[in-house]
Amino acid sequence: MGLEMESLAASIGVSVAVLRFLLCFVATIPVSFLWRIVPGRLPKHLYSALSGVLLSYLSFGFSSNLHFLVPMSLGYASMVLFRRHCGLITFVLGFGYLIGCHVYYMSGDAWKEGGIDATGALMVLTLKVISCAINYNDGLLKEEEGLSEAQKKNRLIKLPSLIEYIGYCLCCGSHFAGPVYEMKDYLEWTDGKGIWKHDEQNPPPSPYWATIRALLQAGFCMGLYLYLVPQFPLSRFIDPVYHDWPFWKRLGYQYMAGFTARWKYYFIWSISEASIIISGLGFSGWTKSSPPKPRWDRAKNVDILALEFVKSAVEIPLKWNIQVSTWLRHYVYERLVQKGKKPGFFQLLATQTVSAVWHGLYPGYIIFFVQSAVMIAGSRAIYRWQQAIPPSMAFLKRVLGFFNFAYTVLVLNYSCVGFMVLSLHETLASYGSVYYIGTIIPITLILLGSIIKPAPARSKARKDK
């Protein structure tokens, strides 16, 4: 069996550890399908928990479940013992343990060399544990205390049972690569309540076509990635040959390197999307079309075409790693905004810093997420100028719109090199090879935006007058 695994891994160009993970990851699809036929509420929770434990063991080994047990135990204990502060306690302890694992395992180096460990799954699990504790904390608040719509929807009045909690955390291997979802959604899905309450007049939607679409998408993404990756290796950024190329060729290589790397993530998220859809958890309601069609937004982690042709950097979090971006918005960004005030660059930078630490403590991650905060701020400046242009100057408005698109493509693919190569030396070598253009342009736009401020829009009453 070991020789067969080695030969199969060699044939597709991955390590045995990565192949084992991929097999278990794909197995989450049939495992999630079988959840549908498990009878009863308690058996479903048990199945969710045990299937997650088994898949983790087969993929990463016994130690993975011990690692997962730490933040899960800390989160549940804080909810039982310190409800009034359980959200903050779990956030600090959960991230603290994750950072410790990042430092100890330095998983980024292993991933670059073709290895894999349980740190990636621990990242997803940490977010789920923290959101559960924060929502239980929010259960103490009253709706009239200025709760956001997300807080009203997700808050937990009652402490989940231990088996509900474990089932939520490890459900059918969904912690491998996400998507992140809420405890309240998990409970309603398992109990057949809310949008999952079905009867003869309201039959459950069929998940099969959406699952097949996600699998076809996964196959295409992996095929394109395997075709492109040998042609655009990341090692080229420190190759003397690369630095001898003309400026535009180096800039084009950065674009293609980023474009190539994204298809790996598209593949992973397409598989996880198929898994969540076929279980039924991915269902998020019906469209308003006639006849209505089921929506599976809860399972969606990326909108590939929308991201590749994104019009503004501000839209990137809505198209890429969607569920984690939603988590960061609800549990970091919005909670840093003081009542009666609007969010600003501080909230954006703090949120991106949390995202960087969540990914790992490599310089490339830190630089990328700081860069992304600056990139978004620069894009907002362009957007404000664009919105201030009167309708009579429609051509100029379209020109600024195209400029925002080109700016986003340039700065995104420049910035994401740091995310891919991770080391400070390789990141700065890549950025320096194009004269830090992707850093200078956003900062220039931010400074210009503070000087050239668009005139405030006239009120509706003034317009009518």
**What is the 3-class SS of the chain, one letter each residue?**
CHHHHHHHHHHHCCCHHHHHHHHHHHHHHHHHHHHCCCCCHHHHHHHHHHHHHHHHHHHHCHHHHHHHHHHHHHHHHHHHHCHHHHHHHHHHHHHHHHHHHHHHHCHHHHHHCCCCCCHHHHHHHHHHHHHHHHHHHHCCCCHHHCCCHHHHHHCCCCCCCHHHHHHHHHHHHCCCCCCCCCHHHHHHHHHCCHHHCCCCCCCCCCCHHHHHHHHHHHHHHHHHHHHHCCCCCHHHHHCHHHHHCCHHHHHHHHHHHHHHHHHHHHHHHHHHHHHHHHHCCCCCEECCCCCCCEECHHHCCECHHHHHCCCCHHHHHHHECHHHHHHHHHHHHHHHCCCCCCCCHHHHHHHHHHHHHHHCCCHHHHHHHHHHHHHHHHHHHHHHHHHHCCHHHHHHHHHHHHHHHHHHHHHHHHHHHHHHHCCHHHHHHHHHHCCCHHHHHHHHHHHHHHHCCCCCCCCHHHHHC
pLDDT band for 340, please (50, 70, 90 cuts): confident
Overall size of the chain counted in residues: 465
Task: Give the pLDDT confidence score for residue 392 in this predicted structure.
Answer: 85
Tracing tokens 């342009």 back to the chain, one arrives at: 441
Residue 464 in this model has a pLDDT that exceeds 50: no
Q: How far apart (Å, rounded) are the C-alpha atoms in residues 189 and 281?
A: 6
| Percentage of the chain lying above the pLDDT 90 cut | 75
Query: How far apart, in whole angstroms, are the C-alpha atoms of residue 332 and residue 162?
Result: 26
Q: What is the pLDDT of residues 309-325, one digit of tens each?
A: 999 999 999 999 999 99
Predicted confidence (pLDDT) at residue 159 exceeds the cutoff of 90:
yes
- Give me 327's structure tokens: 């988590």
| pLDDT tens string 75-106 | 999 999 999 999 999 999 999 999 999 988 87
Q: Is 359 a catalytic residue?
A: yes
Q: Which residue has the tokens 């550890």?
A: 17
- What does the pLDDT average to over 430-449? 95
Q: Is 246 left (phi over 0), alpha (psi -120 to 50) or beta?
A: beta
Q: Yes or no: say if 166 and 72 are a contact pair by the CB < 8 Å rule.
A: yes
pLDDT grade, residue 463 (50/70/90)?
Answer: very low
pLDDT at 144: 66
**Band of the pLDDT at 146, cuts 50, 70, 90?**
confident
Nearest to 250 by CA among 404, 11, 56, 417: 417
Q: Say if pTM beats, i.e. exceeds, 0.95.
A: no
Q: What percent of the chain has pLDDT over 70?
A: 95
pLDDT on residue 198: 85
pLDDT over threshold 60, residue 55: yes
Q: What is the pLDDT of residue 462?
A: 43
Please tell me the distance from the alpha carbon of residue 179 to that of residue 81, in angstroms, as a whole number.
29
Lowest mean pLDDT among 39-48, 138-147, 233-242, 371-380: 138-147
In this prediction, residues 403-423 reach a mean pLDDT of 94
- Render pLDDT for 100-129 as a digit per residue (tens, 0 to 9): 999 888 777 666 666 688 899 999 999 999
Q: What is the pLDDT of residue 341?
A: 84
Mean pLDDT over 129-143 rounds to 93
How much is the pLDDT for 17? 81
Set 45, 198, 359, 425: catalytic member? 359
What would the two tokens of residue 119 be? Answer: 């740190």
Query: Would you put residue 90 in left (φ > 0), alpha (ψ -120 to 50) or beta?
Result: alpha
Would the pLDDT of 208 be above 70? yes
Whether residue 162 has pLDDT greater than 60: yes
Per-residue pLDDT band at 305 (split at 50, 70, 90): very high
Question: Is 200's pLDDT higher than 80?
Answer: no
pLDDT per position as a tens digit, 5-14: 777 777 777 7
What's the rounded mean pLDDT across residues 153-160?
95
